[in-house]
Structure 1
Amino acid sequence: MNTTGPEDKGLRLIPFRGLRYVPERVGSLSAVTSPPYDVVVRPDGLHHLESADPHNIVRLILPQAATPEARHRQAAATLGEWLSEGILAPDPEPALYVYEQRRGDLLQRGVIGALALSGPADGIVLPHEDVMADVVADRAALMRTTAANLEPLLLTYRGEDEPAGSTAATAATAPTTSTNGTSAVIERTVRRPPLLTTTTEDGFRHRLWSVTDPGDLDEITRDLADHQALIADGHHRWATYLRLRAEHSATGPWGYGLVLLIDTARYPLQVRAIHRLLHRVPVDRAIAALSGSFRVRTLDTPLPEALDALADARTGGGAGTGTGGNAFLLAGDGRFHLIDRPDEALLERTVPTGRPEAWRSLDATVLHSTLLDHIWKIPDDPEHIAYIHDTEAVVRKAERDGSTAILMHPVREDVVRDLARQGVTMPRKSTSFGPKPATGLVLRSLTLG
């Protein structure tokens, strides 16, 4: 069932009573925050967050217990305890929240709220990546058991210049400033003292404000009603929202999901790659299987120079997406191996047809269709492949374990958005948009609305 009415053709963001940490009850706000759950993938990172403060949000988003059912029950019990003990408390009235992240010259501002959920056919929220069924099932069980949205999705839109259904060409010609609408509300709001300010370990300063004025809320509602959004981060959580909406009344709290909405015409996001780690596959074996299929060059250079070589190979000026052809870096034996110039006949045989050329030429498409499925014959499941955002971390782990790290070059945002508008999803974990919102600054209870 669609949560939007017949007159609704765009985004609908509603206020909610945010659950927030009570500063006096925790060591510091920075000590209780976390990156999104899927970024905290290494045990050392999980343990670091757990030890930072006994009330770190990671105990809710990644609870530790013997079975999935026990983990979900533990998270729900912990949330209940923190609420009863006053560690977390709901704000006194429903609000939208202006959220700011700043580090050096990088500034990002957006609005956090409860978004009316829409299906793919509505064309209001555009996914661009496939999802893993087991991850969606786990996130759904956690959300169902805790009855809470524990961390927001990251959605992007293009401000005044991109009404729902517009094309990339028309969006590119419009202005990026506004004297009214959501951007104007944000700019007015940040002149006030914030609800909270904290600086996290990554050097980002975070500030949060509540927006409760009816005029401001109406201005945001009118502005967003003509726009669509791209999922930048949180495809599994979006799929989880839709699954849980189908289980409940779409007009109730389960018909909405917690999101951070960023106008990238004003605050462009950075797009990074998500790298792969092939468990129990040494680099020499991976390279040997490429004979006759890809050109392989060994680089005796440090990581930054190796990444520069990857960028040069990937952006050499070819057709399609404006790139020089598919290229990857393999690591794990103390050196870097640049593989590029795949055999064109091999690509024709292994890459699925019936999709746009921009999709067929994606590195992630070639990686999964040609390398993983055809050459290496490695199943895409957690037993065989890990997805790791941090470049240095994936290289270190590959070297430590004697496995193979595959370093990817990022996809341009305009390619992502154009494919999403065509209803074409990219292979899972193709992109990492950022900066990502810190988890733990504001939560949404499904029992409070």
Structure 2
Amino acid sequence: MNSTGPVDKGLRLIPFSGLRYVPERVGSLSAVTSPPYDVVVRPDGLHQLESADPYNIVRLILPQAATAEERHRRAAVTLRQWQEEGVLAPDPEPALYVYEQRRGEVLQRGVIGALALSPPADGIVLPHEDVMPDVVEDRADLMRTTAANLEPLLLTYRGEPGAAPAGHAPGAAGGPGAAGGTGATGTGGTTGPVGTSAVIERTLGRAPLLTTTTEDGFSHRLWSVTEPAELAEISGDLAHHQALIADGHHRWATYLRLSAEHTAAPGGGGGAAGRTPGPWDYGLVLLIDTVRYPLQVRAIHRLLHRLPVDRALAALDGSPGSPAPFRVRTVEGPLPRALEALERTAATGNAFLLAGDGRFHLVDRPDEGLLARTVRADRPAAWRELDATVLHSTLLDHLWRIPDDPEHIAYIHDAEAAVAQAERRGGTAVLLHPVREDVVRDLARQGVTMPRKSTSFGPKPATGLVLRDLARG
């Protein structure tokens, strides 16, 4: 997504001295990494990560204690102790980091750095989802107390088409033709990579800082880029681009909040006019060019803690003499087969899969009159037709009357985990089909945000490979 404004109105990514695990001080790099904090399935996933290694990063991103204040204080103390013990150590000089993830034919490469923050009104970094204020508050308290960016956001931009990346299989999972992927890698073109992509390609021939394979089967490699000419090449290229937040809306909102706090503080840099920006005016991000490395787009499912499946279905029956709000059909399992039925149905309109009672119930064909009464009319048609919009406006708010708070709804990335928890706890899992990336991007360009937790872009960066200590800039 190229910017049309002046060069200095695009992305500004600066190097920093990454804080990284010292391999000799931990069991293995794979044992100390974690998925992003909001992907960890609590409590099962949390306990598994905590037991993997005493220095697992989950002790920083999801610290455990009786109160929020104590959790955040414990994370700050732990972070300081690990640095004093030599478990975590800063790199000797500021760098941008080339990061690669690979599993089978899935390949993703990008650049990690500290990105200059800008509000949505500037149109440089575009959000596409609403956020939950309580989550932003919690993440802000944690980041404020630790004075660190503990995990990078995932941002995407649209670079120039060029030759296919080395080692990339066009049309493979995660590549062009994969579900949710958009854009061409330019496999028929004759030009080579330019700008940031050219630096990435050259960096691949050097020895990486680290190599590890995590439990999910992804291999990870990380390189540092410190040469002034290459840093300038990346800077000049990114200055012509805007980015879409693929994953990390709450952390981005946290970055903006804390930057504003430090702007208002006496003597704060804050990026205000006439002042030199300080470390809080930048946030840790991973930037991916989706022309060369299209991301996979997956759905985020809902677990309704206090709504059993029979009550959820009863609300969809309708009253005598009135049309049913939705059509409901029982479909055959197991889960992969039921998800295939959801995919086929979602291709022609809104559709959801309910589970939790040992069966799968396909919900589709919402009553048009009901949609007209419950879905906002002051948004584009693409927003009104989103499954997430209909789920929240019509099902959750109107028919089921479920408050959107953690006591009533959990957001779970894995369909199997959502179904298992619903069956174990007597709730309802609502499974969704992913929205296309082009729909997400078009809405973001219009400044229209989707319902919270509408999409899950991936693969997501592993947490724990590189941190940013704000005390070091």
Q: SS of the residue aligned with 2:286?
A: strand
Report if the CA contact (8 A) 2:7-2:240 is conserved. no
Question: What is the 5 A alignment of 1:98-247?
Answer: 98-160=98-160, 175=186, 178-247=192-261
Counterpart-to-counterpart distance in 2, 1:7 and 1:305: 50
Which position in structure 2 is the counterpart of 1:320? none
Q: SS of the residue aligned with 1:115?
A: strand
Q: SS of the residue aligned with 1:334?
A: coil
Which position in structure 1 is the counterpart of 2:36? 36
Report if the CA contact (8 A) 1:148-1:444 is conserved. yes
Which position in structure 1 is the counterpart of 2:453? 429
Which position in structure 1 is the counterpart of 2:346? 314
Letter in 2 for 1:265: V
Instruction: Tell me which of 265, 283, 290 is aligned to 1:257.
Output: 283
Instruction: Tell me which of 379, 395, 402 is aligned to 2:419.
Output: 395
Letter in 2 for 1:33: T
**With structure 1 as the length reference, what TM-score do the two structures score?**
0.94
CA, structure 1 residues 298+173, in 2 after alignment: closer, same or farther (shift >3 Å)?
closer
Matched, 1:274 2:306: no
1:179 deviates by 3.3
CA, structure 1 residues 406+382, in 2 after alignment: closer, same or farther (shift >3 Å)?
same
Counterpart-to-counterpart distance in 1, 2:46 and 2:39: 10
Letter in 2 for 1:352: R
Q: SS of the residue aligned with 2:471?
A: coil
Percent identity, please: 81
Letter in 2 for 1:286: A
Report if the CA contact (8 A) 2:298-2:433 is conserved. yes
Report if the CA contact (8 A) 1:36-1:151 is conserved. yes
Counterpart-to-counterpart distance in 2, 1:35 and 1:114: 20
Counterpart-to-counterpart distance in 2, 1:312 and 1:42: 31
Deviates more, 1:36-45 or 1:10-19: 36-45
Q: SS of the residue aligned with 1:160?
A: coil
Counterpart-to-counterpart distance in 1, 2:428 and 2:106: 33
Matched, 1:303 2:329: no
1:125 deviates by 0.3
Q: SS of the residue aligned with 1:8?
A: helix
CA, structure 1 residues 337+173, in 2 after alignment: closer, same or farther (shift >3 Å)?
closer
CA, structure 1 residues 408+174, in 2 after alignment: closer, same or farther (shift >3 Å)?
closer
Which position in structure 1 is the counterpart of 2:14? 14
Report if the CA contact (8 A) 1:331-1:406 is conserved. yes
Letter in 1 for 2:221: R
Deviates more, 1:39-48 or 1:101-110: 39-48
Letter in 1 for 2:244: L
Report if the CA contact (8 A) 1:160-1:178 is conserved. no
1:44 deviates by 1.1
Letter in 1 for 2:135: V
Counterpart-to-counterpart distance in 1, 2:307 and 2:44: 22
Counterpart-to-counterpart distance in 2, 1:7 and 1:393: 45
**How big is each residue's C-alpha offset from its partner over 1:159-207, in whole Å with a ceiling of 9 and x where there is no partner?**
1269xxxxxxxx9699576432000000000111100000000000000
CA, structure 1 residues 89+429, in 2 after alignment: closer, same or farther (shift >3 Å)?
same
**How big is each residue's C-alpha offset from its partner over 1:289-336, in whole Å with a ceiling of 9 and x where there is no partner?**
001100000113211111011011011xxxxxxxx1100000001010
Which position in structure 2 is the counterpart of 1:80? 80
Report if the CA contact (8 A) 1:295-1:339 is conserved. yes
CA, structure 1 residues 179+172, in 2 after alignment: closer, same or farther (shift >3 Å)?
closer
Matched, 1:283 2:276: no
**How big is each residue's C-alpha offset from its partner over 1:50-85, in whole Å with a ceiling of 9 and x where there is no partner?**
000000000000000110000000000000000001
Matched, 1:326 2:350: yes
Counterpart-to-counterpart distance in 1, 2:433 and 2:7: 41
Which position in structure 1 is the counterpart of 2:179? none
Which position in structure 2 is the counterpart of 1:319? none
Matched, 1:367 2:391: yes
Gaps in structure 1 of 5+ consecutive residues = 163-170, 316-323
Q: SS of the residue aligned with 1:296?
A: strand
Which position in structure 1 is the counterpart of 2:401? 377
State the superposition RMSD in angstroms.
1.5
CA, structure 1 residues 36+174, in 2 after alignment: closer, same or farther (shift >3 Å)?
closer
Which position in structure 2 is the counterpart of 1:165? none
Which position in structure 1 is the counterpart of 2:165? none
Gaps in structure 2 of 5+ consecutive residues = 163-181, 263-269, 272-276, 318-323
Report if the CA contact (8 A) 1:128-1:419 is conserved. yes
Which position in structure 1 is the counterpart of 2:321? none
**With structure 2 as the length reference, what TM-score do the two structures score?**
0.89
The size of the alignment, in residue pairs, is 429
Report if the CA contact (8 A) 2:11-2:115 is conserved. yes
